[in-house]
Amino acid sequence: MTWIVRYVCLIPALPMLAAGISALLPQRSRKPAAGLAIVSMAASFALALCAFAAALSNPSPQVFNFSWLQFGDQTLALGWLLDPLTAVMLVMVTFVGLLIFIYSTGYMEHDENFTRFFCFLALFAGGMLGVIIANSLLLLFMCWEIVGLTSYLLIGFWYQNPRAAAAAKKAFITTRIGDLGFLIGMVWLYAQAHTLLFYDSGRGALESGAVSHLAVTTTIYGLTLSSAIGLLIFCGAMGKSGQVPLHVWLPDAMEGPTPVSALIHAATMVAAGVFLIARIYPLMSAHGVEVVTPTIALQVVTWVGAITALFGATVAVAQWDIKRILAYSTVSQLGYMMIGLGVGGPAVGMFHLITHAFFKALLFLGAGSVIHGCSGEQDIRRMGGLRKYMPLTFLTYGIGMLALSGFPLVVSGFWSKDAILYSAHHWSVSQLPFYMASLGALLTAFYMTRQVCYVFFGTLRLPGHGPVSHSEPDSEDTRHHGAGHPHESPAVMTAPLAILAFFAFALGFLGTPLWPWFQSFLNGDHSVAAEHEPGLVATMAASSVIALLGIFLGWLLYGRQSIATCEAPDVLERAQPQTFRVLHQAYFIDAIYDATFVRLTRWTAKLADLLDRFLFHGIVQAISFGVLGLAWVDSFVDNYVVNFGFDSSWRSISMGGRAMAALQGGRVQAYLRYIGLALVALVLYLLWGVAR
Amino acid sequence: MTGLQAYLLLSSLLFAIGLAGALTRRNAILVLIGIELMLNAANINFIAFWHYGPATTYITGVMFAIFSISVAAAEAAVGLAIIVAAYRHSHTIDLDSMNSLKG
Amino acid sequence: MTFPALTALTLLPVAAAAVLLLLPQSSSKLPRVIAAALSLLILACTLLLWVRFDHTSGALQFQERHAWIPALHVEYRLAIDGLGLIMLLLTAIVVPIGIAASWRTKKRSSLYFALVFLLQACMFGTFTALNFFHWFIFWELSLIPAFFLIRLWGGKLAGPAATQFLVYTMVGSVTMLLSFLAIYLATGTFDFIELAGRGDSFLPGVAANLGWQHVNPQHLALVLFAGVFLGFAVKVPLIPFHTWLPAAYSEAPSGVTAILTGAMSKMGVYGFLRILLPIFAPQIHKLQTPLLWISIATIVLSAFAALAQKDLKRIFAYSSINHLGYCLLAAFALVRTSDAALLPEQYAAFSGILLQVLSHAITAATIFWFISLLENRSAGTRLLTDFGGLRRIAPVFAGLMGIALFSSLGLPGLNGFPGEFLIFKGTFPLVPWAASISVLGLLITAVFILGVIQKVFTGPLQPERAVFPDLTSGERVSFAPVIALMFVLGLYPQLVLGALNSTVISYVHQLRF
Amino acid sequence: MSISFLIIAVLIVGSTAAAMGLRNPIHCVLTLSITFGGIAALFLQLGAEFVGLTQIMVYVGAVAILAVFAIMMTQSRRGLMLGTFSRNALVGLLTAVAVFSVLGWAVLSQPVAGVTAAVSPVSVQQIGSSLMHEYVLPLELIGLLLTAALIGAIVIAMERKEDTE
């Protein structure tokens, strides 16, 4: 075991430490807090590179386990591990995180809670890196929840805005619904495998011994145990990765500051679900000896991913908010990753995760730059023509857009998405996910083109510029001090954009079919992807056509004629107002949830309260009234039956007493006399007794 | 009449005289003295019974007499003190005018 | 003869109460300082006991055994194992918190704090007694200081609430007493350990021993169980025996509520673990399904009921029911099976209960402490609708109370999580359906706790709350150890569990059903 | 029945009757001391020397003196000598007569012969040793009683401040 395995825990520990320290810092120490966070992140990045190098030289999982607690004679161990999956994620998260930290110093410059922001951000980074290095499902779960907490804190960062507070709560609760499944799956796995460690020199839950036991044991509905547990854990992944139907929190999460959206809700945390499935892939894919079809668990993952991919893409077409478009796009891309995991294995899914992290972070940061430049404006109808004012942002944003659209051959997104489409095409269960994914890819290219046309082309439609707008602003955010006209962002913000843009290009070449380094690295030494497979070129051609067609359609509808005013309805809205409305409202899923689950919860709460107040309390009241009634009867009997007899006897005693009292004259000598007479009587009595 | 009976008769007479005094005198001090006389009569009985008892080595009677004398002394001291205190309170020791024990 | 440590520990709060009562009545500040110092002293003594406790042994320790009423075979018998130890510890931790939460008590404060100490003494007595005779004396005696604390220092409706509390728990106690009298008449002993050692056949034998030939012995055993069960179910409480609790908790002064929920409710849990499970395990095994349903109802319904409340104290009153529901879920699951393969799960469940009672004591007491500060700063109101946006003007208050609230929610890294995890880890393999349904409670807990945070701390600032001072530095310092304890127990639960493992093993092995 | 007994008996009865019958309390007490002395002589005659001497010391030496003091302290300012008899004197006298007749009858009617064995006077040493052995508890109690009586008498008779004011 190399030294780096032992110290890999420092990678999450450093940002956590930074968070702890800056939590104690006073509000005004802005520079120390930001500096601390950035330095810790940089150190983590350096360590992550070392870890990466170590994983390159030894791709088998290396672990460091320790005992966390004991119950009875049992020991619950936690630990961390280093394998290619961890190494890749570590580098990606620390690098993107570092860039976003730097960017945030510019973006959040004027915020009064600047210190808190970096505290939360560093805590998030710590939690996320903890998820990555965890060698125990429990440790992963714990860090997972901490990540959820920081997501909650950061979405609700502008807590005075009730919408942000509500969105934060919604995010936490929605992901917690998934986490309940995760928790049950985890305790089930623990009960069956007797450990929660992933790798423990042959005894781990993901190693052949435990997995083969789980794969042959069946439980309800003919599911194998491994699939059942895998699906329960997948619930957690669905919550975190915004898969339908638990995606509702992700668009609302855009209430948070934009760097948060970029880091947490695009690049890293939402990908944690994908990472989780990749991590427990041996469990998900375990099947008995004679079965060859993909396991139920992986099929479910694929279908959920496909539905999510198509859903997100369609909804993104009809959004106005620059960040909401990207949010739905993220939902959709996460769906792609799930498809990739389901049909092609961890390497395919993870490749898209990594490339997506870079270009989506780029897009969000670009969007942040746009919002910053437009003084907080987020509605794309009020933008336009920004390429003149913000050339650098435009350039990098364009690269991100091409990457997301899957522009053929040059950008990373093309290669990763192509790998997914290829695997989906060859899936043995059904072709439908392939067609859904293809349609989604077309729409992706389309809505990204639409967005770019709205934002960067045409004329400026900001209020006070160009044609005067009378519509009241959709967002009353005035957090950013506004200059009169759009302006390019400072270098501290554009430099990360440029770096990310470079990687949005370059990263793709790590995983092209000609040189699938990434896949072979992730799959360890048993790489099979190097050979040319049938249909590869055909799929590539098809996906190229799809992407180009999408971009063309977008340009046709939005770019050819520049949008003049911000009141002008969308082209699609004009053509299909009903459909557009449905899409704009994201199929009314929020409204449906409000009408069903939320209302159900509220009613159940009311019911529980009423039960309490009236039924249970009522029973108690009835009993107490019964007792009171008895008491009344009793007192009646007492007063009129018992007391009557008692009173009369008492009265006679009292009269007797009065008679006796007359004897008590108060004269001592009288008493003495009585005593003397009594003596006489006594002696007489005794003598009489003797005489007899 | 045996010797013992003579002593017992004497003590009875003494007792009766003491009782008569206690019952008839108005002066509280004399009442107390009457009571002392009754106690003395009892002491005579103790000694007489001891003297005429089965063996004079059983000295229970003597002991009783001694303890009785002690108690009587204590009683006399406290009783007289009470009388003095009562006198101070009501300026009289006339038992006919003292009836605050009345129930 | 060894030093009677447990008797001494029980008498210590009595002495503290005496000291407070001897203080001059004029000063209102002196009693609280002395009370705080004395409570910390008692805590230190309890910690000393913790250190001196032989953690490698699951046997009863610090035993004191004297013949008391030989004619009735009543002994004065005190001893603790890990279970008693953790109860003593949490009581000793909660009382200083309760005193701190009562810092602003003006009215007859020395009497107030003296009653608090008497309550503590009764709880110490309950947690150390092993003979029903004096155990029951302490159990009942604890009602008296609690009653007066609620009645005299409570809110507007404190009178009915206190009476309800008293009568309710008395009814439970009476049924328990009747059951134990029947057992005593049949067996001739009041000793818990001896009764637990009698095996599973003695309860059905009660009918024969009493000479009740016409009674079905199994039915009689169940009736006896029900009597004792009612006593504890009211105390914890379990739904539907809980209706005294919201009123009592919300009407009592917050400091008292902190003690009621932090320590006194644990008397019920302790009763379940010390008395009900060892002695009545066969009956619990027989009635397991309904009992599990009761605990599920407790968990889920109380969480939903909390969601419907507007008053902060009522919310956390229900939350307290919810959290203790998990303990009882695990306790009932313990007697599911005697399959040796599931022993680790039983260990986990029992360890989880122990951790959960400790962490709930700390968390709930701290939350009520915060609520008392909130009340002091807002002229007594504690309706959710009266607050909003406090985080802006009281960030430290919001941050620290947020930590306590997230601890109550079971966030990993804080003290609420390890206990809940172990409970689910143990309960799920034993009774999967019950564990699966009761996770719903975790979700609803999150909903209402986040709702509290949302309504109190976020959003625009309410104008009438514009003057809301943040925590003073004194308050920050006094909160620091508690918050630190939350982190320590959350990150390193072995600190507590390591001391209790032997108890866990021997306890689980003693269960016979 | 010896002559000495008769003489002593007559002395006792006469002085007692005088003590209970004279009007002047001082005279009463003076005659009373004769009674006490007679009783002491009776004890001596019966062989109980220690009791007899105790009788003289306690009654003649202490009680009688105490009574004289009490009488002097309670002399009314109006000079009224409270030696007279109460209103119900006749009833009291009758009661006393009844008591005497009953007692006398009881004594005479019973055959109480008594054992007139050789009288061996009881020695002071004998009394002392039995006081310290068999009767040690009564002795202690008597000691306690006397102490209490001493303190009590002082407390009761003590002049209170508010009385003097």
Asked if B23 is an interface residue toward chain A (Cβ–Cβ < 8 A), one would say yes
Closest residue, chain C, to A627 (C-alpha)? C167
CB distance C391–A194 less than 8 Å?
Answer: no
Comparing C-alpha atoms, which of A128, A127, A132, A104 is closest to residue A116?
A104
Kindly report the nearest CA distance between residue B17 and chain A, in angstroms.
Answer: 12
Poorest-pLDDT segment among A306-310, A321-325, A519-523? A519-523
> Residue C411 is nearest to which of A27, A145, A612, comparing CB atoms?
A145
pLDDT of the residue at A107:
87
pLDDT of the residue at A307:
94
Asked whether the predicted pLDDT for residue C408 surpasses 80, the reply is yes
Chains that touch C (3 or more CB pairs under 8 A): A
- pLDDT tens digits, A141-166: 999 999 999 999 999 999 888 899 99
Asked if B22 is an interface residue toward chain A (Cβ–Cβ < 8 A), one would say yes
Q: B57 in a domain, yes or no? A: yes
> Residue B29 is nearest to which of D25, D127, D150, comparing CB atoms?
D25
> Residue B76 is nearest to which of D16, D66, D89, comparing CB atoms?
D66
Say what the alpha-carbon torsion angle A213, A214, A215, A216 is, to the nearest 10 degrees: 60
In which band, very low, low, confident or very high, does the pLDDT at A609 lie, cut at 50, 70 and 90? confident
CB distance C425–A166 less than 8 Å?
Answer: no
Closest residue, chain C, to A142 (C-alpha)? C412
Stretch A676-689: mean pLDDT, rounded? 86
Locate the DSSP E strands across A622-689: none
Poorest-pLDDT segment among A261-270, A420-429, A511-520, C456-465? A511-520
> Residue B20 is nearest to which of D20, D76, D108, comparing CB atoms?
D20
Asked if A27 is an interface residue toward chain C (Cβ–Cβ < 8 A), one would say yes
Higher pLDDT, A588 or A290: A588
pLDDT of the residue at A475:
42
**From the candidates A667, A668, A669, which should be mutated to test the interface with D, based on the most D CB atoms within 10 A?**
A669
Comparing C-alpha atoms, which of A137, A270, A129, A261 is closest to residue A196?
A137
pTM assigned to the model: 0.78
Q: B58 in a domain, yes or no? A: yes
Phi, psi for residue A664 in degrees, rounded to 5: -85, 80
CB distance B26–D85 less than 8 Å?
Answer: yes
Locate the DSSP E strands across A217-274: none
Q: B102 in a domain, yes or no? A: no
Give how far Cα C458 sits from Cα of A524, C185, C426, C462, Å.
49, 61, 38, 10
Task: For chains D and B, tell me whether 3 or more CB atom pairs sit within 8 A of each other.
Answer: yes
Between CA D4 and CA D11 the distance in angstroms is 11
pLDDT of the residue at C217:
85
Q: How far is CA C391 from its chain centroid? A: 31
Other residues' Cβ atoms within 10 Å of the Cβ of residue C379: 9
Comparing C-alpha atoms, which of C19, D119, D88 is closest to residue A676?
D88
CB distance A667–B19 less than 8 Å?
Answer: no
Q: Give the orientation angle of helix B3-24 with respect to helix B28-51, to 10 degrees.
A: 170
CB distance A676–D88 less than 8 Å?
Answer: no
- pLDDT tens digits, C413-469: 999 999 999 999 999 999 999 999 999 999 999 999 999 999 999 988 888 877 888
Using a CB-CB cut-off of 8 Å, the residues of chain D touching A669 are 86, 88, 92
Between CA A452 and CA A467 the distance in angstroms is 20
Share of chain D above pLDDT 90, in %: 10
Share of chain C above pLDDT 70, in %: 99
> How many pairs of residues across A and B have Cβ atoms under 8 Å apart?
32
CB distance C459–A620 less than 8 Å?
Answer: no
pLDDT of the residue at A530:
46
Q: Are B46 and D120 in contact (CB under 8 A)?
A: no
- pLDDT tens digits, D45-100: 888 888 899 899 888 888 888 888 888 887 765 445 555 777 778 888 888 899 99
Comparing C-alpha atoms, which of A247, A332, A239, A348 is closest to residue A298?
A348
pLDDT of the residue at A273:
92
- pLDDT tens digits, C75-105: 899 999 999 999 999 999 999 999 999 988 8
Q: B39: domain range? A: 3-97
Q: Which residues contact A373 (CB under 8 A, 6 or more apart)?
A: A386, A389, A390, A393, A486, A487, A488, A489
**Sign of torsion, CA C36 C40 C43 C49?**
negative
CB distance B22–A669 less than 8 Å?
Answer: yes
Kindly report the nearest CA distance between residue A674 and chain B, in angstroms.
Answer: 10
CB distance A672–B23 less than 8 Å?
Answer: yes
Task: For chains D and C, tell me whether 3 or more CB atom pairs sit within 8 A of each other.
Answer: no
Between CA A257 and CA A513 the distance in angstroms is 38
Q: Which two tokens stand for residue C269?
A: 């849990």
- pLDDT tens digits, A1-24: 578 888 899 999 999 999 999 988
- pLDDT tens digits, A639-665: 777 777 777 888 888 888 887 777 776
**Sign of torsion, CA C127 C129 C132 C135?**
negative
Comparing C-alpha atoms, which of A337, A280, A284, A285 is closest to residue A308?
A337
Q: Which two tokens stand for residue B16?
A: 């009766």
**Residue B29: which CATH number?**
1.10.287.3510
**Sign of torsion, CA D80 D81 D82 D88?**
negative
CB distance A191–C429 less than 8 Å?
Answer: yes
Higher pLDDT, C399 or B87: C399
- pLDDT tens digits, A52-62: 999 888 888 88
Q: B103 in a domain, yes or no? A: no
Asked if A72 is an interface residue toward chain C (Cβ–Cβ < 8 A), one would say yes
CB distance C417–A142 less than 8 Å?
Answer: yes
Asked if D102 is an interface residue toward chain A (Cβ–Cβ < 8 A), one would say yes
pLDDT of the residue at A237:
94
Question: 């992944």: which residue's tokens?
Answer: A237
Poorest-pLDDT segment among A350-354, A370-374, C24-28, D103-107? C24-28
pLDDT of the residue at A524:
64
Run of H or E including C488: helix C473-491
Query: A495-505: b or e for each residue (b if 16 or more CB lie within 10 Å)?
Result: bbbebbbebbb
Domain count for chain B: 1
> Residue A676 is nearest to which of D88, D99, D109, comparing CB atoms?
D99
Residue type, A436: M
CB distance D47–B56 less than 8 Å?
Answer: yes
Between CA A159 and CA A171 the distance in angstroms is 14
Residue B8: Cβ-neighbour burial (10 angstroms; 0-12, 13-18, 19+): buried
Q: B8 in a domain, yes or no? A: yes
Which value does ipTM take for this structure?
A: 0.68
SS3 content of chain D, % helix, strand, coil (to 5): 75, 0, 25
Between CA B12 and CA A243 the distance in angstroms is 120
Higher pLDDT, B17 or B90: B17
Q: B48 in a domain, yes or no? A: yes
